[in-house]
């Protein structure tokens, strides 16, 4: 950084030489003295100081433009994420949808009506996602997290939620027919109006679930469910649920 008055005028050569104790240092001192004069001359050149100020100004303008265009960059990023999701619609595999969905959700973009039917989304994390009327039917969602997500009216039939975390999720009126929920965490989930026909709930954690208005549970396997609320097991069995340990 150039500072006015920072470089003092170098001492004259005779004064410099008189202070040397060893003559073999003379070439080295001469070389240094030469560059002291160059630095001194440049420090007196106002043009260089102006260039430094212009450099600082360009950095400041760059920062201002960066933040002023942040909204446009975010919109572009969201547009690209939706392109990935829509292009892969109806196809198997991930197709980049895991990253795209997680990115949109992280930016609090509603995922209402998103279609990822049959997709490989194992391990996806969509905590607190707005997935109202989403279609995740037959999707591979093993080991995923939908904590506190809103899956109201979502199509989840034949989806594989094995070992997934659905704690505090809203599954009101969701279609969970034939869904694999083995070992999943459904603690405090809302299941009013949900269709659990033929769903596999073995070893699922049912602590605190809202179950009294489940619309259908016929042929659902509730073997070894954990923390089932009082009355749930008897009600489920009376409405066609089964307890078949080790079922395929």
Count of structural domains within the chain = 2
Is residue 82 a part of any domain in this protein? no
Q: Is residue 104 part of a domain?
A: yes
* Half-sphere CA count of 32, side-chain side, radius 13 A: 8
For the chain, list residues with pLDDT below 50: 2, 4-5
| pLDDT value, residue 61 | 72
Q: What is the CATH number of the domain that holds 238?
A: 2.160.20.80
Is the residue at 2 inside a domain?
Answer: no
Let me know whether 136 and 194 are in one domain: yes
Give bridge partners of residue 180 from the DSSP assignment.
160, 200
Domain hosting 36: range is: 13-68
Please report the pLDDT score of residue 64 as a whole number.
Answer: 73
Domain membership of residue 134 (yes or no) is yes
Q: In the prediction, which pLDDT does 48 show?
A: 62
Q: Would you state the pLDDT for residue 196?
A: 98
pLDDT at residue 95 in the model: 79
């Amino acid at each position: 950084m150039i500072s006015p008055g920072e470089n003092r005028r170098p001492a004259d050569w005779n004064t410099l030489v008189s202070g040397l104790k060893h003559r073999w240092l003379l070439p080295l001192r001469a070389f240094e003295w030469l560059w002291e004069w160059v630095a001194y001359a440049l420090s007196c050149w106002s043009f260089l100081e102006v260039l430094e100020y212009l450099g600082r100004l360009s950095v400041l303008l760059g920062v201002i433009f960066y933040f002023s265009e942040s909204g446009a960059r975010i919109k572009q990023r969201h547009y690209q994420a939706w392109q990935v999701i829509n292009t892969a619609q109806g196809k198997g595999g991930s197709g980049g949808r895991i990253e795209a969905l997680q990115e949109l959700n992280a930016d609090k973009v509603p995922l209402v009506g998103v279609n990822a039917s049959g997709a490989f989304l194992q391990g996806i994390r969509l905590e607190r996602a707005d997935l109202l009327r989403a279609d995740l039917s037959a999707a591979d969602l093993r080991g995923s997290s939908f904590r506190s997500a809103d899956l109201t009216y979502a199509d989840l039939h034949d989806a594989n939620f094995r070992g997934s975390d659905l704690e505090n999720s809203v599954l009101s009126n969701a279609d969970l027919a034939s869904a694999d929920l083995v070992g999943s965490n459904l603690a405090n989930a809302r299941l009013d109006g949900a269709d659990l026909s033929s769903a596999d709930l073995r070893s699922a954690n049912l602590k605190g679930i809202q179950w009294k208005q489940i619309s259908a549970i016929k042929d659902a396997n509730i073997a070894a469910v954990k923390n089932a609320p009082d009355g749930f097991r008897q009600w489920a069995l009376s409405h066609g649920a089964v307890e078949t340990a080790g079922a395929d």
